[in-house]
Chains A and B, each alone.
Chain A
Amino acid sequence: MKKLINDPADVVKEALQGVAAAHPDRLRVMTDPNVIVRADAPVQGKVGLVSGGGSGHEPMHGGFVGMGMLDAACPGEVFTSPTPDQMLAATKAVNGGAGVLHIVKNYTGDVLNFEMAADLAGEEKIEVEAVVIDDDVAVTDSLYTAGRRGVGTTVLAEKICGAAAEQRRPLAEVAELCRKVNAGGRSMGMALTSCIVPAAGKPTFELGAAEMEIGIGIHGEPGRERRQIAPAREIVEMLAAPIVDDLPFRPGDRVLAFVNSMGGTPLIELYVVYNELHRFLAGRGIEIARNLIGPYITSLEMQGCSITLLKLDDELTALWDAPVNTPGMRWGA
């Protein structure tokens, strides 16, 4: 294992110390339990937005803490859900009297820990709503699975709900907006290589030199199928067609197209992917009204990408364009 680390056991702690040292103007890092919180939290009269999950997906979630996005993020161990005491501490730290929204990715561990945290916050008389993001079309949603995983749409929901909270919209409205984003967002990812969890020291899964996994999860969970590597044009079609057909996105729809790196794929390849996606959607009569291209929800050093499409209307477009100032996403401020 070759990594820029000191000790596998200290990766999360030392990365948090780095975040604290880099962004004291915007963030405060609490330890025991670990929480990244807005420097000016709690913002009085504003709904507090809290998310969290395993580490290893940076900049999500800690890099999205700041004006116009999250109020706090709870980082767990690498690929392991954070714990309810972290979420409770975050919830208390950002409660400005207007309640707190938990944005939760649909993984059993994340969901159970956030549920316990909401119970604990309720005992302390803090109003909490939780919205679970489940946008991964690679997974069959049925009564017989844990349901679709929460992936790329989470980033978009955090941005859009963050903007709504800045407008001092009430908790019920921000939560409803979050559900709307989840309902209109669909994602699918793929991997060219595996990744190495520092504590494990070896690749999470094996992928042959000429193989790729279509429908991969952000922790290396298996996807729909493993197949031989193909040109970007074909790969984009393997990802975009199931996304478009699932919602479905229809001719005339305006979308936000989000092309995300799994961590190890360079920007030049993301632009090749974006070019193919643009061509594919144009062929289906779907207009890209906004885009986001880069590493935002990663899987350590995994090579690969994910595509997320979000159906836009005027409300969502305006909230997407609203100012945001976080380490991981910044415009207009």
Chain B
Amino acid sequence: MPVSYRQVTGWIRAFAAAVAENKEYLTELDSAIGDADHGINMNRGMQAVLQKMDAGEAGDIGALLKTVGMTLVSTVGGAGGPLYGTLFLQMGTAAAGKSELSGEDWAAALAAGVAGVQRRGKAEPGDKTMIDALVPAVQAVRSALAGGSALDEALRRSARAAADGMTATIPLVARKGRASYLGERSADHQDPGATSSWLLLRTAAEALAAEAV
């Protein structure tokens, strides 16, 4: 079963709730290797997104995702604003005009979003960034769908791959962002960006699979 517009709004709301719940945790991770504002900034952005969504319907999934992206770009600041903003803007472009998404549509939109993040941030897997959670998530959803899995199963595998990618950042030495200034001292810490990206994929698996089971 395809993903509906209603489910996508549910996903955005669930992500906002997860960010709010984990605001302190994300900021704590960031204070170890960054500048201690990731949770605060992402929460400010997602709260602004909720206000936008309460104010009116976007019409279709593409327009909704673009609104989320533009709102994040203009409210988050730091590096998270342009990176998460680009993710949603590119997903929105890929889903333009659609009122529902097939499994392939979802995989294509997610891949477009992640490719946008890579272009903007110029990070590669292994640099200890959000890319370490996002790239495996894209690969997992694609290979699950190609192997004949239903969308809800593909979404769950995608979330698990993001979780594995997130924990795999712990031993890494950062090569991008403010954490890279720490050099070897950035090892033994989980990357805050990879952690918020895992929340994004985990809430997607929960909210988008809800009706498809």
* Residues of A that sit less than 8 Å from B by CB: 33, 76-77, 79-85, 107-109, 112-113, 115-116, 139-140, 143-146, 149, 197, 199-200, 204, 217, 219, 221-222
Closest-CB distance, B33 to chain A (whole angstroms):
10
**Would A109 and B36 be within 8 Å (CB), given that A116-B73, A217-B181 are in contact?**
no
Chain B residues within 8 Å of A83, by CB: 73-77, 81
| B188: min CB distance to chain A, Å | 16
Q: Contacts A140-B183, A145-B181, A221-B181; is A115 near B120 (CB within 8 Å)?
A: yes
Q: CA A204 – CA B35 in complex, angstroms?
A: 8
User: In the complex, which residues of chain A have a beta carbon less than 8 angstroms from the beta carbon of B121?
Assistant: 108, 112
- The answer, yes or no, to whether B145 is at the interface (CB within 8 Å) is no
Q: List 9 A-B contacts (CB under 8 A).
A: A79-B37, A80-B77, A81-B78, A83-B73, A108-B79, A109-B82, A112-B79, A116-B120, A222-B181
Shortest Cβ distance from residue B128 to the other chain A in the assembled complex, whole angstroms: 11
For residue B66, give the distance in angstroms from its CB to the closest CB of chain A. 14
Query: How far does the Cβ of A138 sit from chain B's closest Cβ, in whole Å?
Result: 9
Name the interface residues of B174-190: CB closer than 8 Å to any CB of A: 175-178, 180-183, 185
A144 and B85 alpha carbons, distance in the complex (Å)? 25
Pairs of residues from A and B, 8 with the lowest C-beta to C-beta distance, nearest first? A112-B82, A145-B180, A109-B78, A109-B79, A85-B74, A80-B77, A108-B79, A144-B175
Give the Cβ gap from B125 to chain A, nearest Cβ, in Å: 14
Given the known inter-chain contacts A81-B78, A113-B81, please indicate yes or no for A108 contacting B73, CB distance below 8 A: no
CA distance A53 to B182 in the complex (A): 22
Q: How long is the Cα–Cα vector from A199 to B36 in the complex, in angstroms?
A: 11
* Chain B residues within 8 Å of A145, by CB: 175, 180-181, 183
CB pair B81 A146 closer than 8 Å: no
CA distance A191 to B175 in the complex (A): 25
**Would you call B82 and A84 a contact (CB within 8 A)?**
yes
Query: Is A84 a contact of B73 with CB atoms below 8 Å?
Result: yes
Residues of B within 8 A of A77 (CB): 77
Which residues does chain A contribute within 8 Å of B79, judged by CB atoms? 81, 108-109, 112
A116 with B37: CB separation less than 8 A:
no
**A76 contacts across to B, CB distance below 8 A:** 77
Q: Would A82 and B77 be within 8 Å (CB), given that A112-B121, A145-B180, A221-B181 are in contact?
A: yes
CB distance from A292 to the nearest CB of B (A): 26
Tell me the smallest distance from the CB of B110 to a CB of chain A, in Å.
21
State the Cβ distance, B26 to closest chain A Cβ, in Å: 14
Q: In the docked arrangement, what's the CA distance between A278 and B67, Å? A: 56
Candidate in A112, A219, A221, A222 with the most chain B CB atoms within 10 angstroms: A112
**Known interface pairs A85-B74, A145-B181; 13 further A-B residue pairs with C-beta atoms within 8 A, sorted by A's residue number:** A76-B77, A79-B37, A80-B37, A82-B77, A84-B73, A84-B82, A109-B77, A109-B78, A116-B82, A116-B120, A144-B180, A146-B176, A219-B35
Contact of B78 among A80, A139, A199 (CB under 8 A): A80
* Docked pose: A80 CA to B34 CA in angstroms: 12
